Amino acid sequence: MFHGFRIYLKYKGKKTLTESEQILFTAANTYLKDVMNGRNALPTKAWKKEYADLTAKRKILNQRYVALKDEVNLHP
C-alpha cells in the first residue's frame, strides 16, 4: 500500500487517476492519517515489536493445539 501511495505522490497532478486508483489512494491517505497521529515517520519499531509478540503467541498457541490434538488422537 505504501509503494502505491509513493507513486501517487510522485505523479500527483501529472497523471489522471482512474476511479479505483483514486479510491485506493484516498483509503491509504485516511489509513496513514489514523496510524501516524501527526508523526512523519512510520512506526516500524512498534510494528516489529508487535509482530514479534504476536509470533511468540502464535507459537505457544500452536504448541497447545498440537498437544491437544495428540491427546485427542490417543484417546479416540
Q: Which one has a higher pLDDT value, 67 or 43?
A: 67
User: Stretch 50-68: mean pLDDT, rounded?
Assistant: 96
- Burial level of 35, CB count in 10 A (0-12/13-18/19+)? exposed
Q: Which residue has the higher pLDDT, 32 or 64?
A: 64
The full set of domain ranges for the chain reads 1-42, 43-76
Rounded CA-CA distance 58/52 in Å is: 10
d(CA 4, CA 24): 9
Confidence of residue 73 (pLDDT cuts 50, 70, 90): confident
